[in-house]
Amino acid sequence: MVNNNILQILPTIHEIESSYNNISCVLSSFNIKQVIRPYLLSKNISDEDINNRLDFFLLNIWQNNIALNDETVSIVTDYYKRYLGFDDFILEDFINFTVREDINRLVELRYIGSNKGRKEVPLSNSYSYKNLVCNFNGRELFNWQKEQGREHTPDDILEYYCTFYQLTMLVILYNIVSSGSFITEQFAVLEEYSIDEEDNLKKVTQDIDIEVFYELFHRFISLNITTGVEMYAEFQLDCNAGELIEEVKQLTPVNKMELDIGVNDEKEAITIRVKNSFLLNDGFIKEGYLKTSQEYDKALDNKSQSTFRITRGYNPCSILFTAKITGMRTISRLLSTNAAPSKKIYIWTMFNSGAIGVGHILSFFFRSIINHCKNIELINKSYYTVFDKFIQSYTPEQRSVPLKTALVFLLARKSSEERKIIIDKYLDEKKCSKQRTELRKVLKAFDTLIKEDIKYGKIIDRFIKTLEKYYAW
C-alpha cells in the first residue's frame, strides 16, 4: 500500500483522544416478552396485545421520563453491583439523570417494525414482530460533564452505555411487572382485574421474587445487538493538518459505486461514503489477516452504508476522524475478533472484543479506504505547512503582505531561469531594484523551507505508516 522505504516515523504522530459519540442497538420484542409473560395473570393475552401496550408505554410514559423511588433506587443499585460492577460514579450519574428527569437526553427508546427495515412505523401499522431500538447519546453525556465541571471521560463511554441501557430497561420492566401500569381497561377482563365503581382500574401490585427477576432480565435484555455507532479519533500530526487534507483529497476510488469521496474546500473537510462494507474484508486480507469463512454477500453488504469524515482537529496540527457506521455486518467485521460479518455484537461482546480501541478501529477503516483507491503513489506532496510558516513570518505591520506572498507562491515552483524571466518582465531593473532584491531574498528563504520539508516526504505516507505500525487492527 505504501512505499516501505519511507523515512523513520516521527514520534509526534500519535492518538490524542478517541471515543464513541453515539451507540445504537436493537432488542427483539421477543426478549422483552420473555421477561413480562411470567408475570401476566392470564395466558390469553396475545403478543400483539403486549406490543401495543409496550408501544403505548414508550410513547406516553417513557417520553415523560421514568421515575425512581426508594424501592427502585435500591433495586437499581443492587442489580448494578451484582451484574455490572463498574465504578460507583457511573451509577450515581444514572440516578442523578433520572431524578432530575434528564435521562431522555442520553437514552432514546422507540419501537420499529422488524419487517420495515430502518424505517420507523407506528405499531398499529405493523405486525406483532417488533424491535426495540435504543440510542445512547454519548456526545450529550460529554456536554453534561462539561456543564458540571466534570472531567471528560471518553474511556468510560462503553460502561456508561451499558449501564444506562440496562438500568433504564430494568426500571421500566420492573415497574411494568410489579404494578398495574401495564394493565389497561382493555386488558382488565382478560386478566381478571376488577374495575371500581367509577369505572377506574383498581391499582394492582405483585410480589416479585427479585432474584428470579434479575436472572430473567439479565438473560434476555442483554441480548441487544449493536446496529450503529458514531465514533471519533483525533491524531496529532508532525505538520499542519491542512497538509494531510490536501493530500487525501487527491484520492480517487477504484470503484465509485462502492466509495464516494466528497471535498469541501471551504471547510477543509472530506466526506467519504462507503457504499459496500466488503472493502473492510479486503482490508483484513491485504494486511495479512485470515480470511473469514463467510466473507461476502453482495446483497447484504450493499445495505450497510457508512460515512467517514476527515476534518481539522482541535489544534492546528491535529486531524479528526469521525465515522458513522451502520449495519450489523459492518459492525461485526470491525468489532468481532475474527472479522466475521455474521457474528452478532451484543452489549457484552463489545467489552470482550476490540470495541474499546476506537483509535485502532478508525485507523483500520481509514487504511481500508486507502486500499480501495488507485494511484496512491501519484499523490502530489502538499506544501501547506511550508506556506503556513512562510505567511506567519510576516508581521501584521508589514504592508502589501498579500501581494508579496502571492508573488512568492507564484514563483516558488518555477526554475531559476523561469523566475528571472518573470521578474525581468514585471519588475524594472532600475525602477524596482528594491522590490527585486526583497523578492529574491524571500524566495531564497522560501526555498530553504521547501528543501527542509522535502526530506520528510508526503504526510499521507508518514501518517499511514504510523497507523500501520502503532494502530494495527
Nearest to 41 by CA among 218, 195, 188: 188
- Identity of residue 420: K
Strand partners, 390: none
- Give the pLDDT band of residue 410 (cuts 50, 70, 90): low
Q: Please tell me the predicted confidence (pLDDT) of residue 160.
A: 93
Rounded Cα–Cα distance for residues 183 and 191 (Å): 8
Long-range contacts of 182-188 (CB under 8 A, 24+ apart): 182/36, 182/53, 182/57, 184/53, 184/56, 187/45, 187/49, 187/53
Grid coordinates of 319: 486531524
Tell me the pLDDT band of 187, cut-offs 50, 70 and 90.
Answer: very low
Above 50 in pLDDT, residue 201?
no
Average pLDDT of the segment spanning 143-153: 82
- CA 209, CA 214: separation in Å to the nearest integer? 9
Residue range 125-140, pLDDT digits in tens: 333 457 888 999 999 9
Q: Three-class SS of residue 149?
A: coil
Q: Average of pLDDT values for 268-274?
A: 95
pLDDT of residue 401: 59
For a pLDDT cut of 90, what percent of the chain falls above it? 29
pLDDT at 290: 54
Q: What is the mean pLDDT of residues 35-60?
A: 72
Beta-carbon count within 10 A of 465 CB: 20
Average pLDDT over residues 446-457: 78
Whole-angstrom CA distances from 24 to 132, 230, 278 are: 11, 9, 21
CATH architecture of 228-381: 2-Layer Sandwich (3.30)
Is the predicted pLDDT of residue 8 greater than 50, yes or no?
no
Residues 6+ apart with CB under 8 A from 94: 76, 103, 163, 164, 167
DSSP secondary structure string for all residues of 382-427: P-HHHHHHHHHTS-TT-SSHHHHHHHHHHHHTS-HHHHHHHHHHHS
Which pTM value belongs to this model?
0.80
Hey, where are the domains in the chain?
Answer: 24-223, 228-381, 384-454
Q: Is 303 helix (H, G, I), strand (E, B) or coil?
A: coil
- Express each pLDDT in 372-403 by its tens digit: 898 888 898 888 888 777 767 665 555 555 55
Burial of 450 (0-12, 13-18, 19+ CB in 10 A): middle
Mean pLDDT, rounded, for 414-420 = 79
Q: For 321-332, write each residue's pLDDT tens digit.
A: 999 998 888 888
Look at residue 271 in the predicted model and tell me its pLDDT.
97
Q: Is the pLDDT of residue 90 over 80?
A: yes
Q: Of 42-51, 92-101, 196-205, 345-354, where does mean pLDDT reach its minimum? A: 196-205
Task: Return phi, psi of residue 377, to 5°.
Answer: -70, -15
pLDDT score for 429: 81
When pLDDT is averaged across residues 46-59 and rounded to a whole number, the result is 72
The per-residue pLDDT for 84 is 94
Task: Give me the pLDDT at residue 82, please.
Answer: 95
Per the prediction, the chain carries an average pLDDT of 78
pLDDT for 113 equals 59
C-alpha cell, 463: 501518517
From its phi and psi, is residue 15 left (phi > 0), alpha (psi between -120 and 50) or beta? beta
Mean pLDDT calculated for residue range 255-275: 91
Q: Is the pLDDT of residue 123 over 50?
A: no
Position 104 pLDDT exceeds 70: yes
pLDDT digits (tens, 9 = 90+) for 332-370: 888 876 677 778 888 887 876 667 789 988 998 999 899
First-to-last C-alpha distance (Å) of the chain: 16
